Amino acid sequence: MMVNKQQVAMLAIIGGALVFSLKLLAFLLTDSVALLSDALESIINIVASIMMLISIRIAAIPEDQNHRYGHNKAENISAFVEGFLILIAAFLIIGASVGRLFNPVELADIDLGLAISLTATCINGVLSYVLFREARRSGSIALEGDSKHLFSDVLSSIGVVVGLFIASITGWYILDPLLALLVAVIIIRMGIGVVRKASTDLMDQSSPELERRIQEVMGATGGYIEYHDIKTRKNGNNYFAEFHLCVKGDMTVRDSHRLTDGIEAELRKDFPSIQVNIHVESEDQCCSSLHRPAP
Ligand code: ZN
Ligand code: ZN
């Protein structure tokens, strides 16, 4: 079966709605605040998945007159916001837990509630894995953000279930908020990671692997004097590079274009979606001489 980013995103929304229904049921059965906060976290999941689907749709729009570089950054914006939603979820859990620290609640029979919550957590775990695999395959930062969000949800749910289970056996009801707080810390770290990763592309951070490859290709290429001012950036799986190429003043336009086309073709082997711009300068007009080609 052929799946794509959009289908996987749709799956995340449907799965999220199912998980939320189950968690809400678990809360209604047990009246547990921890399970309620777990269910609340799932609402954020659904909102985030819908946002992710929209952003993937926007990102898939081909370049147009107003967006010559395409619409890919919609995914980064979505992942960035998703990171904040993860953080909000963590603070919701902290809020619910802190109240319980000072006011432990004796839990009633919660076996069925925990079983339902565990089922929901299994569904979330599978969803998270499917999303993560597709994110790696397609280079979709929005999907990756959402898969990490779901995984953080799995961790928090396990924390809540284990805490409630131990608390119901031992009567140490303080365990419940303590475990939930620990999980919240893990979730905060993940949220910060998602925000940071989304911002690297938004901030046009250089791509070290592309710069290294340019240096290798230029080292293996002759027919020029030097090159300088390499600028690289990436956006999901799309790479962009530009640099200046200094050639002999009497080189023909035809020859210099053939040279740059050859360099571009070589780079495209490793970076299929790369857009390269090489600015050719004659030797008497070069702006610097940082790199010399191998003799
Ligand atoms: Zn050309
Ligand atoms: Zn220059």
CA dist., res. 249 & res. 245, Å (int) = 12
CA of residue 245 to ligand 2 center, whole Å? 7
CA of residue 66 to ligand 1 center, whole Å? 23
CA of residue 266 to ligand 1 center, whole Å? 14
Of the listed ligands, the closest to the CA of 228 is 2
CA of residue 218 to ligand 2 center, whole Å? 16
CB burial readout 53-70, b (16+ within 10 A) else e: bebbebbeeeeeeeeeeb
CA of residue 131 to ligand 1 center, whole Å? 38
For the sheet with 275-282, list strands across it.
226-235, 238-247, 275-282
Of the listed ligands, the closest to the CA of 275 is 1
Ligand 2 is an ion; its neighbours by CB within 5 Å are 244, 287
Longest dimension (CA), the chain: 88
The full 3-state SS of 115-182, as one line of letters, equals: HHHHHHHHHHHHHHHHHHHHHHHHCCHHHHHHHHHHHHHHHHHHHHHHHHHHHHHHCCCCHHHHHHHH
pTM for the whole structure: 0.70
Mean pLDDT by 10 residues, the chain (295 residues): 72 89 86 75 80 85 88 86 86 82 72 87 91 86 83 84 82 76 81 86 91 95 92 87 94 95 94 93 75 51
**Matching residue, tokens 């969803």:** 127
* Per-residue CA distances from 244 to 34, 83, 277 (Å): 59, 37, 9
Nearest Cα residue to 72 out of 57, 83, 51? 57
CA of residue 157 to ligand 1 center, whole Å? 55
Domains of the chain plus CATH, in order, are 5-202 (1.20.1510.10), 208-285 (3.30.70.1350)
Nearest Cα residue to 20 out of 92, 160, 121? 121
Of the listed ligands, the closest to the CA of 259 is 1
pLDDT of 232 reads 96
CA of residue 227 to ligand 1 center, whole Å? 18
Number of H helices, E strands in the chain: 8, 3
- Asked if 10 and 53 count as a contact pair (C-beta separation under 8 A), the reply is yes
CA of residue 261 to ligand 1 center, whole Å? 6
